[in-house]
Structure 1
Amino acid sequence: MAVTLKDIAAEAGVSLMTVSNVVNGKQARVSAATRDRILRIVKDRGYVPSASARSLAAKSSRLVGLLVPAEDEASLTISPHTVAVIGMLERELRRLDYHLMLRGIADRAEITEALKSWNLDGAVLLGFQDAEIDRLKAETVGGVALVAMDSYSENPLALEVRSDDFGGAELAVSHLIALGHKRIAFAGPGFSATGVVRRRFEGYRTVLAANGIGYDESLVSRVETTHADGLAYGRRLARERPDVTAVFTTADILAIGLIEGLAAEGRSVPGDVSVVGYDDSDLAVYVTPKLTTVAQDLTAKAAEAVRLMMDRLAGRDRPDEATTLGVRLIERDTAAPPPRR
């Protein structure tokens, strides 16, 4: 049978309230001798505090939800970038004695359901369209501290943390132009409601214009952030667009599929086509050739998301603007000067 606070109080010869105060760190009114006696019994008896009881006492569940989009009736499929973010968030929250709960959201109404029914202290929204976050209302969010990662929503209910998506695209495309490329394609998912991809596309167009390179809409392809879609795009690009000498993609996993698709059609990287990815995921150094990519500081992004959440829970004012973190270009082996023709 599990040891209770009542058992410890009886053995120590003190009140239940005294034991509770010592176990929960409220020891100012307890003598050192009594505190040490109680803590010794706690250790000897192997007492483990009840997480639910501690939550009730503190009026805090110490639970943070991580909500990510999911396909209805399908297993949760997440990108290497999202996997890395999950790991970083869990580590930052664990340091503060919070627990992370992962939930895939197929029906967007489930966002409201999760926030209302899980007794969460906070929630991180990752991968949702800006419009989906814009629709959240105070009466459905309740007192949950919300942080939207990689979002350009204007909803004041959600604190925002993102990387410099426009600047990342500038770095990537400027690098390709400096190598001598002019026929540079852009590949990424649709961005009509996704600010992250839209800002990367805007960076792409801005750099082309700044360097006197005309914008060609036919070089922009909607490609979902998966290896399979990248591979199909690479095959199609090799067959249909021999004029393209470089591609800027919005994710490493897409870039890796693209490289394989090009190779399947007999085109080499970077000999025939240069490729730049985005994220600097672990996969970037596991493939051959190693991927040139734009790196985000995921550790800093996760730490900032948790800091903003804790500030809101503590009643401190939110920043007036979203937190935007810097990026950098990692030069490896998939970008080189264009082939001579």
Structure 2
Amino acid sequence: MKKTTIKDVASHAGVSAAAVSYVLNGKAHKVSEDTIQKIHDSVKALNYIPNISARGLAKNTSELVSIIIPQTESRKQLMLENPFYAEIISAIEAVVRDYGYHAILAGVDEGVSYLDISVSRNLDGAIIMGVYPERLYEECKKVNIPIVLIDSYIHDETFANVGIDDEHGGYLATSHLIAKGHRNIALVTGTIRRDGVVEKRFLGYKRALQENGLFYHPDYVFEDSVSYEHGRVTGRLIAERHPDITAVFATADMVAFGLIRGIHEAGKRVPDDLSVIGFDDISMAHMFLPPLTTVKQQISYKGETAARLLMEQIVGERPRRGAEVPRILIPLELVERDTVRLLNG
């Protein structure tokens, strides 16, 4: 079947190909309202799909932005198995689409050049999640496109940055368990790396213990990957071998779900035998049985905020080098549900 072209649309509408091009490329002010309506009617009637590549060449833009997720752990499927990413990526994509752009998703393994990705795709901008101050970040500074960071503890003012106070979030979760009477509190977490999200939540956990006069037990920290399976294995381990532990802070809801499954497999129950608190408040948290007590970060709002910052730079005036760039902190709140009980209460 022959592909419909601009000339076909023009012929069907009884206008010039130039008029069709104006309307499809955001220059409708150059033609009359009657012509605009005819063109839109013809586009719909012929089911015409614009050639994005051709439009990009004409406008010196690819109309593509990338969502980059550095793979910092050995489990390559983490990016797809955690609903947190689905929620934030959906929010970003919706904003980008509102601007007439398209988003592509890329997981970047250690050792892979971000410069290669940006050049080969001719990107107009990028959002990068959880980048560390190492090679990938240094490469980002060499790329001459707008970039917005999410959940990145980078100590300079090169790029706009959207995130939360992860240390405060870890403190909130642990303090809630302490307020419920728990004293032997475990932490189940992904890999703790310097200047990363997980490290900040770990530091909040330690601060809450210290401020309440509780001893920090290194043996109560179970560190591996941000995954359901890590939670499940650790849940069984805690339930079977650590009768002293009465509560667990999981630094991600997916880990908390695995924990609860593992605890149940070991013949114990949440919250009757062990209390569990998560972090993120992904959409599944209130559907889970029992519904998960967790620290809520506004995942969709975080993605929307980052996307708007990026698109404003792409379609508007980009900040000059050295100019102050925003660092936006999204507020946190504790959501009480059914996985934490009052000890001896």
The one-letter amino acid of 2:255's match is L
Q: Which of 317, 337, 340 lines up with 1:315 in the alignment?
A: 317
**More deviation in 214-223 or 177-186?**
214-223
**More deviation in 288-297 or 151-160?**
151-160
Q: Give the secondary-structure state (helix, strand or coil) at the position aligned to 2:310.
A: helix
The 5 A counterparts of 1:276-315 are 276-313=277-314, 314-315=316-317
Q: Which of 136, 139, 142 lines up with 2:139 in the alignment?
A: 136
Q: By how many angstroms is 1:309 displaced?
A: 0.6
Q: By how many angstroms is 1:120 displaced?
A: 1.0
**2:210 corresponds to:** 209
Unaligned runs of 5+ in 1: none
Q: Give the secondary-structure state (helix, strand or coil) at the position aligned to 2:300.
A: helix
1:335 aligns with 2:340: yes
In the alignment, the residues of structure 1 paired with residue 312 and residue 8 of structure 2 have an alpha-carbon distance, to the nearest angstrom, of 38
**2:190 corresponds to:** 189
The one-letter amino acid of 1:196's match is V
1:124 aligns with 2:127: yes
**1:267 corresponds to:** 268
Q: Which of 114, 129, 141 lines up with 2:117 in the alignment?
A: 114
The 5 A counterparts of 1:46-195 are 46-70=47-71, 77-139=80-142, 141=143, 143-154=144-155, 156-195=157-196
Identity %: 37
Q: By how many angstroms is 1:188 displaced?
A: 0.8
Distance 1:29 1:186, change over 3 A: closer
Q: By how many angstroms is 1:334 displaced?
A: 0.8
User: Once superposed, what is the RMSD of the aligned Cα atoms?
Assistant: 2.7
Q: By how many angstroms is 1:117 displaced?
A: 0.9
In the alignment, the residues of structure 2 paired with residue 28 and residue 177 of structure 1 have an alpha-carbon distance, to the nearest angstrom, of 63
Q: By how many angstroms is 1:223 displaced?
A: 3.1
**More deviation in 280-289 or 117-126?**
280-289
**2:3 corresponds to:** 2
**More deviation in 33-42 or 247-256?**
33-42
**More deviation in 324-333 or 144-153?**
144-153
Please say if residues 146 and 318 of structure 2, whose CA atoms lie closer than 8 Å, have aligned partners that are also in contact.
no
In the alignment, the residues of structure 2 paired with residue 237 and residue 306 of structure 1 have an alpha-carbon distance, to the nearest angstrom, of 40
- TM-score, length of structure 1 as denominator length: 0.88
Q: By how many angstroms is 1:134 displaced?
A: 3.1
Please say if residues 130 and 197 of structure 2, whose CA atoms lie closer than 8 Å, have aligned partners that are also in contact.
no
**1:255 corresponds to:** 256
In the alignment, the residues of structure 1 paired with residue 287 and residue 40 of structure 2 have an alpha-carbon distance, to the nearest angstrom, of 50
- TM-score, length of structure 2 as denominator length: 0.87
Aligned residues: 338
Unaligned runs of 5+ in 2: none
In the alignment, the residues of structure 1 paired with residue 299 and residue 131 of structure 2 have an alpha-carbon distance, to the nearest angstrom, of 18
Please say if residues 114 and 136 of structure 2, whose CA atoms lie closer than 8 Å, have aligned partners that are also in contact.
no
Distance 1:27 1:63, change over 3 A: closer
1:235 aligns with 2:240: no
Distance 1:96 1:18, change over 3 A: closer
